[in-house]
Amino acid sequence: MKRRISAALAVCLLALSVAANAQSWKIPYGSEKGKVAVYNSKTDPKFAEDAPYGPMAFRVHNENLWVLDSIGVRIYGFDQKNELKTDVTVSGLEGFKLLEDFALVSGASGRPESAWVADAANCDIRKISLADGKELLRIGGRGSEPGKFMQINQLEVDAGGRLYVGDYGRTVISVFTAYGELVREIPWQRTGFALDKKGQLHLLVWREKAGYFHRIYSARGQLLKSLHVGLADLQNARVWGVTADDSLLVSFVPAGGFKGSLQLFEISEAAKVNRRLSFAPPASMNRFVADAGQKVFVAEADFATAPDGDFAVKNMEWEVKK
């Protein structure tokens, strides 16, 4: 009898373990509270864009989901049970509204207290309180000079509160203090970037024939390392995260071109591909992969058919080595 109870308990624990590893969220489309808005020919008869829009970015922080409701201009926070815990509206936006990316800023407790939010239309970035939606700070604006932006693509915040802005239009990463003061700019090839716990910046640089190089910069902007990665046959690299041992999480268009799926690699400092997985990226979405420690989350969405279906975020499993 004891063996049977132990076996049953083991099965139960295994099931719980599998369920924990398969964490996922689903959010319905719509304009009501707790739903995410979309802009397409179904939701607006005057739709005239090249592609439909919906949530442009998401993040997973301490097992909780944060979603940028880009058309509804809101920031949502959901717990592990898919229950809405935070609902903040970004106010003061005029004309066509599209929030491109966001970065959470944690307080002393480790919980997010504010967020930097990029407004694609006006090319500015606002710091918003997650408690009441109050605008705390605003930087940027459209322009080609330092401190201005042409096409904001990515926002990241380090442990010291510094803000890093990837600008597709100016092909630089601009670094600001927590108070919005420009510190420096770093050349960038639109390959994504990530910050580690030491505040070091990780990015990829492409060189003809040689392929990719993994560059690591200190928090003061000094180039610490330039590691040859290679992989010259892979296209459109984008860095999504960096592990504790300085391995990069990078997505690529497979050799031969895009055919509906991307490849996500975990690449060590020795340029070894430790793990990989393939996934179908949602069209017209900016930040569709989230590195959450030992887990990787990917968004699943079809903004063209919405409001049918749901906006989903799922934990992806690495492929098993044979």
Q: What is the pLDDT of residues 26-36, one digit of tens each?
A: 999 999 999 99
The pLDDT confidence band at residue 319, using thresholds 50, 70 and 90, is: confident
What is the CATH classification number for the domain harbouring 47?
A: 2.120.10.30
203 or 50: whose pLDDT is higher? 203
Residue pLDDT, tens place only, 17-56: 333 456 899 999 999 999 999 999 999 998 988 899 999 9
In a domain, 132, yes or no: yes
**pLDDT value at residue 17:** 37
Q: In terms of Cα–Cα distance, which of 261, 172, 279 is closest to 217?
A: 172
- The pLDDT of 141-168, averaged and rounded, is 96
Domain total of the chain:
1
In a domain, 1, yes or no: no
Which residue has 């970004």 as its token pair?
A: 90
96 or 6: whose pLDDT is higher? 96
In a domain, 17, yes or no: no
Q: In terms of Cα–Cα distance, which of 221, 264, 222 is closest to 243?
A: 264
Q: Which domain holds residue 266?
A: 25-316
In a domain, 15, yes or no: no
Q: In terms of Cα–Cα distance, which of 183, 173, 114, 181 is closest to 149?
A: 173
CB 98 within 8 A of CB 303: no
**pLDDT value at residue 321:** 64
Sign for the CA dihedral angle at 290, 292, 297, 301 comes to: negative
Residue pLDDT, tens place only, 258-283: 999 999 999 998 989 999 999 999 99
In a domain, 321, yes or no: no
User: Residue 235: CB partners within 8 Å, gap ≥ 6?
Assistant: 252, 253, 255, 257
Q: Note the pTM of the prediction, 2 decimals.
A: 0.91
In a domain, 269, yes or no: yes
- The pLDDT of 284-308, averaged and rounded, is 93
Question: Is it the case that residue 150 has pLDDT exceeding 80?
Answer: yes
In a domain, 322, yes or no: no
In a domain, 11, yes or no: no
Q: In terms of Cα–Cα distance, which of 78, 71, 128 is closest to 100?
A: 71
